Structure 1
Amino acid sequence: MKLIGALASPYVRKVRIVLAEKKLDYKLELENVWADDTRIQESNPIGKVPCLVMEDGEAVFDSRVICEYLDTLSPVGKLIPPSGRERAEVRCWEALADGVTDAAVQIRVERMYHDEASRSQKFIDRQLGKIRESLRAMARGLDERQWCASNRLTLADVAVVCSLGYLDFRYPEIDWRDAHPNLARHFERMSTRPSVAETAPTDAAPVAPASPMSATSATSATPATPAGPALTAR
């Protein structure tokens, strides 16, 4: 399998964490979807990452769809319950976490592509409100539990750590840790997992490894230079 993505994208990160937790082999091909010569639409007509390309050339896109598909490929570390309220709970957590990330990305796009005189502060404030209320909901839902849903690692935890990690990456001024110490504890626990530690977001171009590419370090031979916020699908 080949995963087309960007190292700064929280949605690509979510898929990479799932691949690592499921112990699935893949190649990561970096793509700057903002570049004039991007070829992303050859695989995903929407023009977004992540995009998972199978051995036969068929593509799966949108991180939620990709993660659900990947969870069916191996019995190792099942991340999504098969049915019922447990499944709905995990998917609601994912939707909540992705909502935080969606709002954060929207703010970044507004600030990057509009100067201070033309950007909409009302729009930015609305997105910040979504982030604030969603973080409160996360904190209430987590309470003092170790995991967001069930009594084990699920996609809920993966989605939450990606959203919080993206806030740290792009908005260090948002002090969510002091406001929600239980989320901070959950984030720190999750950050010790190799799948999370090895996928921390970055704008830097990767250095090609000397050894054969591993599932979490494989990159395309000609990684693109970031030219703006990663245009990502959920």
Structure 2
Amino acid sequence: MRLIGMLDSPYVRRTALTLAALDIPFAHESLSVFRQYGEFAAINPVVKAPTAVTDEGVVLLDSTLIIDYALKTLAGSKRLGPADPRQIALDVRLTGLGLAACEKAVQSVYERQLRPAEKQHQPWLDRVAGQLKAALFAIETDILGADWLLATPLSEAGITLAVAGTFIAEMIPDVVALSDYPRHAALTAAAEATDLFRAWPYE
């Protein structure tokens, strides 16, 4: 399988880390949706990162759907996260909160860094920041006692939360200080110190 997209995208990095955690072989192609638009469009005209191309040539998009495909067809007996039903529910919830944090962080980056200052809409920026902080507050509350997030097998929530934490800390520290959420910050630091995360670093 091929995985197309840059590791500065939390969605691309989340997918790469998950595939690697599942020991699924893939070739990573670091293409930018901005600087290499034409080359990316030749693979996927929608130009959405991440894009995956199966060994049969089927083009897949969206990190959650690519991961779902990998779990259903390529992972064999391997799985992500806990087996206890109560922990599974929390893993799904925390994954959703992590993805919401990624979405709002990316929206903040796009609005503030890609849109001309005179065209930025402050009420929208305030709303996005508020949604991001709400997601981070919920994460901070829910990860208390969830030591299995970075256990073996690594959970999807653990990967997603750490990727979100790094993206936020690197890209919008003036909007949200990850240090205001010490449990999330500690989880992010612990994940980034592992061999898996070091092998797929934030670009």
> Given the superposition, is the C-alpha separation of residues 118 and 37 from structure 1 closer, same or farther in structure 2, using an over 3 Å criterion?
closer
- For residue 57 of structure 1, what is the aligned residue in structure 2? 57
Within 5 A, what are the aligned runs for 1:118-197?
Answer: 118-148=119-149, 153-173=154-174, 174-177=176-179, 179-197=180-198
For the residue of structure 1 that corresponds to 2:117, the secondary structure is coil
SS of the equivalent of 1:70 reads helix
What one-letter code is carried by the residue in structure 1 that aligns with 2:178? W
Give CA-to-partner distance per residue, 1:145-198, whole Å, 9 cap, x none: 313499852101111011001011202333222x22222221222122222122
Q: Gaps spanning 5+ residues in structure 2: where?
A: none
Superposed CA offset, 1:192-215 (max 9, x none): 22221222222xxxxxxxxxxxxx
Q: Which has the higher helix share?
A: 2
What's the TM-score once normalised by structure 1's chain length?
Answer: 0.76
Query: Which ranges of structure 1 fall in alignment gaps of 5 or more residues?
Result: 203-234
Q: Which residue of 2 aligns with 1:39?
A: 39
Check 1:104–1:140 CA distance in 2 against 1; reply closer, same or farther (3 A cut): same
Q: Which residue is equivalent to 2:108?
A: 107
**Do 1:4 and 1:50's aligned partners in 2 also have CA atoms closer than 8 Å?**
yes
Shift of 1:27: 0.9
Deviation of 1:40 (Å): 2.7
C-alpha deviation, 1:77, in angstroms: 4.7
SS at match of 1:147: helix
Given that residues 17 and 199 in structure 1 are in contact (C-alpha distance below 8 angstroms), is that contact kept between their aligned partners in structure 2?
yes
Q: Percent identity of the aligned residues?
A: 23
Find the counterpart in structure 1 of residue 28 from structure 2: 28
State whether residues 23 and 76 of structure 1, in contact with CA within 8 Å, keep that contact through their aligned partners in structure 2.
Answer: no
Following TM superposition, by how much is the alpha carbon of 1:44 offset from its aligned partner in structure 2, in angstroms? 3.0
Q: In the alignment, is the contact (CA less than 8 A) between 2:11 and 2:63 conserved in 1?
A: yes
Shift of 1:116: 2.5
Q: Which range moves more in the overlay, 91-100 or 6-15?
A: 91-100
Q: TM-score, normalised by structure 2?
A: 0.87
RMSD of aligned residue pairs (Cα, Å): 2.5
Give 1:129 shift: 0.5
Give the conservation status (yes or no) of the 8 Å contact 1:21–1:77.
no
| 1:4 equivalent in structure 2 | 4
Q: How many residues align?
A: 201
Change over 3 Å in CA distance of 1:87–1:45 after alignment to 2: farther
RCO higher in structure (CA 8 A, sep ≥6): 1
